[in-house]
Amino acid sequence: MTATIFVLNGPNLNLLGLREPEVYGSDTLNDIEDRVRARGKTLGFEIDFRQTNVEGQLVDWVQEARTKAKGLIINPAAYTHTSVALHDAIKAVGVPAIEVHLSNTYAREDFRHHSYVSPVAHGIVVGFGAYGYELALEGLARIVSKN
């Protein structure tokens, strides 16, 4: 049976390709999903790729990963800087998580420098644009293969 990796995306990422392309690039979320699925296939993973603008939905999906995924990649977007609930959910489920951001959050506004997710993530990928998702998948594959 093929192992599943959840790729979870937070608010406004459905607007990629339209929203501030100078910051987030011109790739759409569908473009990213296609590349992650292709890379996942070569690594032997099934990719469950999702997006929501609702914090509670992200928390539910993280909890679902506990029994349905070997690991998760999460771009919490703005919830990175506000969600103790995501922090607690990731910590509770016990599956390896990689936090990913398209832009270099540390080169942006001060409020983007703090993440509630980072302390409970196995790794963080920031500033590589859409390619960051593939980097996160590569890293997660190494972690999962050791478990």
Q: Side chain identity at 102, as an amino acid letter? A: L
Q: Which of the residues 79, 101, 116, 122 is marked catalytic?
A: 101
Q: Is 24 assigned a catalytic role?
A: yes
Q: Is 101 assigned a catalytic role?
A: yes
Q: What is the Cα–Cα distance from 70 to 74, expressed in whole angstroms? A: 13
Q: Which of the residues 24, 79, 116, 133 is marked catalytic?
A: 24
Strands 71-75 and 45-51, bridge-based pairing: unpaired
Which residues are annotated as catalytic? 24, 101
